[in-house]
Amino acid sequence: MGYVKFNEARELDLILLGRVAIDFNPAYNEQVKEEFKPLKKVHMFEKFVGGSPANIAVGVTRHGMKAGFIGKVSDDQFGEFVVDYFNEQGIDTSHITKCKNGEKLGLTFTEMLSSSESSILMYRNCIADLQLSVEDIDEEYIQKAKAILISGTALAESPSREAALKAVMLAKRNDVRIIFDIDYRAYNWKNTDELSIYYSTVAKEADIIMGSREEFDLTEKLIKPGMTDEESAALWQGYHATIVVIKHGMKGSTAYTLDGQSFSIKPFPVEARKGFGGGDGYGSGFLYGLYQGWDIIDCLEFGSAEASMMVKSNNCSDSLPTPEEVHAFIKEEKEKFGEMIARV
Ligand SMILES: Nc1ncnc2c1ncn2[C@@H]1O[C@H](COP(=O)(O)OP(=O)(O)OP(=O)(O)O)[C@@H](O)[C@H]1O
Ligand SMILES: O=C(O)C[C@@H](O)[C@H](O)C(=O)CO
């Protein structure tokens, strides 16, 4: 307990910075059900707000936390769609600005092929979210937050890269906890050396780091490749991290805490509709638990349950559950499969 100390006087629980885009998912509603099929065969799509930090912003807000978003959107109806949706959810949009040179929000067309195969097709030329710049990072706003979550995508290119680094520096000097969600998306990056340089720069400052084994390998490439999870946790805890969460997909995930303990969890078994979105459910559930002051294993169980609920659903943002729904899901799963279903 108490691995992360938040400044309770702050009005915002969490500011999230980075990628917001539009997801077009094969329609799956009362009227139209596009079954598993290749993207080129899909006839009807449904439109949702997407992008990992945007989804986590929605997730934590549904859990009753107060979130704000720092991001850049296109100066068109899709940009308005994002801002309207965030406003409806109760997310503070005062620091979302519009692009001035015609840059567009990313469009993500998702493919759902089977319960174990899904992919995304991204349209990200002249991309809005990476236009975030140092002028958009306002110290007074950052001072209002208990923590800031930096999504790794924001580090892929300038000017967003410098904006994210400025936010980290300002968070550091204002008693704002830094959460780094590595959120690797290959399509954004030119080469893996750049990736290691910028990911490791933020990881060195972060209080909490969350990522898959692959994402930690990429982060550590220029430091010491091929580390074990324990070595990775020790490395980052040697800087500022108090919690390092390393995910191994269906094999489960482990949180390493500064006092040398580790806590592991497995996914709840579900029939998945897609692979993506699990990380966002996991992130919002885990962080919610942490803010409640729960034991780490309970935070992990909640995150893992929310992740399973997300992969089961047809979309990312709209399907994020309330805490009551997550508790009900956990209860139901435990009744079916036993108390220790997800616990290792
Ligand atoms: N098929 C599945 N069934 C149940 N849970 C799953 C499944 N796939 C993923 N999950 C859950 O989602 C979590 C995150 O998934 P993953 O490791 O793919 O993260 P990610 O790459 O960060 O996801 P995202 O695409 O959302 O960013 C896993 O740790 C697991 O708990
Ligand atoms: O942007 C992606 O990689 C996929 C999106 O469809 C989704 O909203 C997401 O960001 C999941 O993390």
What does the pLDDT read at residue 271? 94
What does the pLDDT read at residue 1? 57
- ipTM of the complex model: 0.96
User: Which protein residue's CA is at the shortest distance from atom 23 of ligand 1?
Assistant: 279
pTM value is 0.98
Mutate to test the pocket of ligand 2, among 108, 149, 273, 274 (most ligand atoms within 8 A of CB): 108
Which residue carries 């089977």 as its tokens?
114
Whole-angstrom distance between the N-terminal and C-terminal Cα of the chain? 19
Ligand 2 midpoint to CA 184 (Å)? 11
User: Which protein residue's CA is at the shortest distance from atom 24 of ligand 1?
Assistant: 279
H/E/C letters for each residue in the chain? CCCCCCCCCCCEEEEEECCCEEEEEECECCCCECCCECHHHCCCEEEEEECHHHHHHHHHHHCCCCEEEEEEECCCHHHHHHHHHHHHHCCECCCEEECCCCCECEEEEEEEEECCEEEEEEECCCECHHHCCHHHCCHHHHCCEEEEEEEHHHHCCCCHHHHHHHHHHHHHHCCCEEEEECCCCHHHCCCHHHHHHHHHHHHHHCCEEEEEHHHHHHHHCCCCCCCCHHHHHHHHHCCCCCEEEEECHHHCEEEEECCCCEEEECCCCCCCCCCCCHHHHHHHHHHHHHHHCCCHHHHHHHHHHHHHHHHHCCCCCCCCCCHHHHHHHHHHHHHHHCCCCCEC
Q: What single-letter amino acid sits at 279?
A: G
Q: What single-letter amino acid sits at 209?
A: I
Determine whether the shortest distance from the Cβ of 198 to ligand 2 is under 6 A.
Answer: no
Ligand 2 midpoint to CA 137 (Å)? 24
Nearest ligand to the C-alpha atom of residue 116: 1
What does the pLDDT read at residue 344? 85
Determine whether the shortest distance from the Cβ of 274 to ligand 2 is under 6 A.
Answer: no
Determine whether the shortest distance from the Cβ of 285 to ligand 1 is under 6 A.
Answer: no
User: Which protein residue's CA is at the shortest distance from atom 1 of ligand 2?
Assistant: 51
CA distance 274 to 115: 6
> Which pLDDT tens digits describe the chain residue by residue (344 residues)?
579 999 999 999 999 999 999 999 999 999 999 999 999 999 999 999 999 999 999 999 999 999 999 999 999 999 999 999 999 999 999 999 999 999 999 999 999 999 999 999 999 999 999 999 999 999 999 999 999 999 999 999 999 999 999 999 999 999 999 999 999 999 889 999 999 999 999 999 999 999 999 999 999 999 999 999 999 999 999 999 999 999 999 999 999 999 999 999 999 999 999 999 999 999 999 999 999 999 999 999 999 999 999 999 999 999 999 999 999 999 999 999 999 999 98
- 308 touches 275 (CB < 8 A): no
User: Which protein residue's CA is at the shortest distance from atom 8 of ligand 1?
Assistant: 275
CA distance 171 to 243: 18
Which residue carries 């324990």 as its tokens?
230
CA distance 68 to 189: 26
Determine whether the shortest distance from the Cβ of 111 to ligand 2 is under 6 A.
Answer: no
